Structure 1
Amino acid sequence: MKTIDTVIFDLGGVLIDWNPRYLYRKIFKTEEEISWFLDNICTGEWNDKQDGGRSFEEATAELVALHPTFTEPINAWYGRWQETIQGSLPGTVEILKEIKGASRHRLYALTNWSAETFPWALDNFDFLHWFEGIVVSGVEKTRKPFPDFYHILFERYGIDPNRAVFIDDNIKNIVAGNALGLRTIHFQSPEQLRTELLALGIL
């Protein structure tokens, strides 16, 4: 087994606390209403298209035309997008800081994120500048779990997947990473991540 020289982080759900419920708790009265809206109107599949490069304007217009009675909450998805982010996940940021401080591993990020909102993240989270490179799905017009998105990272930065570990909270992305030869950690908490990184000798 080759020695790990590269650590690849997902961002949302691993380092950044993103959840549309933070916004929609201010709009709807119950968790049940929020769940219905996210399952039927602003769905994960719909949001994936923006992560893959579709514009907010096109995405919003499509849904408003289909569901005019939900115009206000649909418009809020992007009009109030910053309210979907609670901040960073400090425990994971501390782990990232420790890896960076040791200077033994290269650090990269591979994120499903709209090209239109990622500049805001760069301006508001200093730790994003600790990475040697970040590959953003909305910029590349492809996303996890598609193999071509991972290969953009590998080829752009000369990464050998057999010498890298990939951290993500989405099991589909983990399965895709495994298929490409990455060692992976399915993120569930900073404590669990620390334990697994210690076992790999990265911390």
Structure 2
Amino acid sequence: MSEIRHIVFDIGRVLIHYDPDLPFSRLIPDPEERRWFFANVCTSDWNIEQDRGRTWEEAESLLITEYPNHAENIRNFRRHWHEMVPHSYDDSVALMLELIEAGYDVTMLTNFASDTFLEARRRYPFLERPRGVTVSGDVRMIKPDREIYDHHAASFGLDPSATIFIDDSPRNVEGAREAGWHAVCFTDAITLETDLERYGIRP
């Protein structure tokens, strides 16, 4: 096994909690109506295009044209985004900071809209601690497409065979492996610590 010199963290659901249901359980109290809204209007496929670089204005306009009766809640998705990221995972953050303090080269690679990432970074200062970050909305590439892993490696001078990636999405983990990286699927900080130890990584 190659010696790991570079550790790359995802952000959402690895370092920061993310759940669109949090504001919408108040905005659309009926569970069936809320499920329908997320399955048909503000879908994951719609939201991911903002992570790819589409503006919220364009995204909202497209949906409001198709679903004019839901205009207010379409706008509410961005308006109440801050409620979807209510806290960080303190144990994961602590582990990341310990790795940085121990001298490991730590960067971040995230699917995130450009403006919401700036908001998250103001709210969670620990996002400034790694050496750098690739934000999908800034580079207009997105996980699990191969090009974003290659872009991140080139931008930060990473040797893919000496890099390990941590992400909560199995598809994104597989994308990293296809790019020649090592990768583990995040479930919780205790499991992550065990996974990293298998690679000889200890804070």
Which bin holds the TM-score, normalised by the shorter protein?
over 0.9
The runs of 5 or more residues in structure 2 that have no matched partner are none
**2:186 corresponding residue in structure 1:** 187
Give the percent of matched residue pairs that are identical in Structure 1 and Structure 2: 32
1:94 corresponding residue in structure 2: 94
Count of matched residue positions in the alignment of Structure 1 and Structure 2: 202
Residue 132 (str. 1) matches residue 131 (str. 2): yes
Q: CA deviation at 1:25?
A: 1.0
Provide the C-alpha distance between the structure 1 equivalents of 2:26 and 2:39, rounded to a whole number of angstroms: 18
- Which residue of the partner structure matches residue 16 of structure 1? 16
Report what 1:109 is aligned to: 108
SS in 2 for 1:165: strand
Write the distance in 2 (CA, Å) between the matches of 1:32 and 1:163.
47
Matched, 1:78 2:78: yes
Residue 155 in 1 paired to residue 154 in 2? yes
1: CA distance, partners of 2:94 / 2:156: 24
User: Following TM superposition, by how much is the alpha carbon of 1:8 offset from its aligned partner in structure 2, in angstroms?
Assistant: 0.3
Q: Secondary structure at the match of 1:8?
A: strand
Moved more, 79-88 or 47-56: 79-88
What amino acid is the match of 2:113? S
Distance in 2, Cα, partners of 1:68 & 1:24: 18
1:144 is paired with a residue of what secondary structure?
coil
Q: TM-score scaled by structure 1?
A: 0.96
Q: 1:182, CA displacement in angstroms?
A: 1.0
Q: How far is 1:35 from its partner?
A: 2.1
What's the TM-score once normalised by structure 2's chain length? 0.96
2:65 maps to: 65
Q: Which runs of 5+ in 1 are unaligned?
A: none
Task: Return structure 1 stretches of 4+ with deviation > 6 angstroms.
Answer: none
RMSD, matched Cα? 1.0
Q: 1:31 Cα shift?
A: 3.2
In the TM superposition, residue 124 of structure 1 has moved relative to its aligned partner by 1.1
